[in-house]
Amino acid sequence: MDKFFNGLTPKIYTPLWNKYRPAILQLMVSSAEGPQEYKLFGHEFLSANPKERGTFTFTLQAHRGKATNNIKKSVIAQDLLSVLETSKKALELMDSGTYEFRLDKKFILHIEKLEVKTIGAPEEKVESEQ
C-alpha cells in the first residue's frame, strides 16, 4: 500500500547497490582516465524486483550528490544515487565533477566522468599590441 511508504517507493535496489559500492567507487576514480565498465549480475536485480522486467536500463548524471538529469521514473537510478549520497568518497568525487552512470540491457554499468565545459571562457589570451 502506497500510504505505508508515504508515497515513496521502498529502496528495493539499495542492498544491491551497497554490495557494488566499492567497485563503483573504484570505477569513479578510474574514470578520470577514461570511461569504465562493470558487469553486474542481472539475476540479482531481477530477483529484487521480478515485476519490473525490462525496465532496468537508466542513465544517471550526478554532480555534487544530486541528479542533473530526470530520474523520477527510474527507481533503480534513484536507489543508486541514494547509495552514492551515503559515501564520503563518492560525494568528494561528485564535488569535483559530473559523473554519468548508465546501465544497459546486458547489466553492464558504464561510468564516465564528464568533461566540464566552461561557458564564455576565452579560448586563448590575445596579447595587446605594443
Q: What is the pLDDT of residues 72-85, one digit of tens each?
A: 999 999 999 999 99
**Which residues 6+ apart lie within 8 Å of 18 measured at CB?**
83
User: Is 130 inside any structural domain?
Assistant: no
User: What is the span of the domain harbouring residue 29?
Assistant: 9-114
**Which residues 6+ apart lie within 8 Å of 129 measured at CB?**
none
C-alpha pair distances (Å), 16 with each of 41, 64, 83, 97, 116:
10, 22, 10, 25, 30
On the question of pLDDT at 7 being above 90, the answer is no
User: Is 124 inside any structural domain?
Assistant: no
Cell of 130: 605594443
- How many domains does one find in the chain? 1
Percent of the chain at pLDDT exceeding 90: 69
User: Is 128 inside any structural domain?
Assistant: no
Do residues 99 and 93 make contact, with C-beta atoms less than 8 angstroms apart? yes
> What is the torsion angle, in degrees rounded to the nearest 10, for the CA atoms of residue 66, residue 3, residue 76 and residue 116?
-10
User: Is 55 inside any structural domain?
Assistant: yes
**Which residues 6+ apart lie within 8 Å of 123 measured at CB?**
none
User: Is 122 inside any structural domain?
Assistant: no
pLDDT for residue 113: 96
Q: What is the pLDDT of residues 15-26, one digit of tens each?
A: 999 999 999 999
pLDDT for residue 33: 95
| Beta bridge mates, 66 | 63
Q: Which pLDDT band, with edges at 50, 70 and 90, does 111 fall under? A: very high
Q: What is the pLDDT of residues 34-69, one digit of tens each?
A: 999 999 999 999 898 877 766 789 999 999 999 999
User: Is 2 inside any structural domain?
Assistant: no
Do residues 76 and 58 make contact, with C-beta atoms less than 8 angstroms apart? yes
Cell of 1: 500500500
